[in-house]
Amino acid sequence: MPRILVTGAAGGIGTSLRKLLPPIYPDLLLSDINKPADLGKNEEFKTADLVDLAQVEAICEGVDGILHFGGYSIEGSWDQIHQANIIGCYNLFEAAYRKGVKRVIFASSNHAVGFYPRHHRIGTDVTARPDSRYGVSKVFGEALGALYADKHGLKVTCIRIGNFGEVPLDHRRLSIWLKPEDLVQLCRIGLENPDIHFEVFYGASYNERAWWDNHRAYDLGYRPTGRAEDFREHAFAEQAKLKSDPVGDFYQGGAFCSMEFDGDTGRIVDWKK
């Protein structure tokens, strides 16, 4: 029975995974910088600050696979991103290597490629186009994953998560929605599939409006059960409450693109004409 470490266990995705993973991986070690308030009696938890390599090594001891959801999950100041997502991510891969962990699943993000326009369909092999310091940190994490896979034989899967949740929240999320159970499927492929060396998947359910070619995940057995269009009316009703955002509505990364934007608006063309 593999022992699986989940970092970021107190965060949004971590909290959901704490409920979904135990039937599949009963030997689960949860970690975060702070203990979750609702920690159950049967849950094993160790506190660790990702910035401290010794603490990260301690949680990697005896572990077979890591689901790395720890770090900063939105745009932040350079210091916040640098500490949690650059130093923290380096420490995670280095500690995994030193402690002989076999597989790492890295929670990357759609914001690694957020500056691709929405009408541009992309695969996982495109040049990075991060839309934020947060997005840059995800490109860095994917690069670290490739390095540890190629140089040290760690089996690494990066999941460029779209928007994780029970329902798609707005028009943009109809293209990038990820149902929690579908994330679990992608994690299982990364933890169990014998053909993994280094892979990048999009973390998206079966979304008819998808901007992403996710065929590699499907080739390795991914069969998402979530269908964004089933929530179309809800998403459109929520979208109607939002202000228009010419930059964010043009690019895949949405509001992460318009945040602090003082770039070339001439690049925003009406492609539907």
Give the catalytic positions in this structure.
Answer: 134
φ, ψ for residue 14 (rounded to 5)? -55, -40
Asked whether position 175 contacts ligand 15L by CB under 6 A, the answer is: no
> What is the footprint of ligand 15L within residues 135-164 (CB under 6 A)?
161, 163
Binder of ligand 15L out of 55, 109, 124, 157 (CB under 6 A): 109
CB-based burial of residue 192 (10 Å sphere; 0-12 exposed, 13-18 middle, 19+ buried)? middle
**Least CB distance from residue 252 to ligand 15L, whole Å?**
9
The count of chain residues that interact with ligand 15L, using the rule CB under 6 A, is 7
CA angle (222 as vertex; 204, 154 as ends), nearest 5: 95
**Least CB distance from residue 26 to ligand 15L, whole Å?**
28
**Least CB distance from residue 46 to ligand 15L, whole Å?**
24
Binder of ligand 15L out of 111, 129, 155, 179 (CB under 6 A): 111
CB-based burial of residue 211 (10 Å sphere; 0-12 exposed, 13-18 middle, 19+ buried)? buried
- Are 4 and 30 in contact, with CB atoms under 8 Å apart? no
Name the β-bridge partners of 199. 157
Taking CB under 6 A as the binding criterion, the range among 76-84, 105-113, 147-155, 192-200 that sits at the site for ligand 15L is 105-113
Binder of ligand 15L out of 7, 110, 175, 205 (CB under 6 A): 110
Neighbours of 168 (CB within 10 A): 31
**Least CB distance from residue 112 to ligand 15L, whole Å?**
9
Structure tokens at 187: 């994690």
- Residues that bind ligand 15L in the complex, under the rule CB under 6 A: 73-74, 109-111, 161, 163
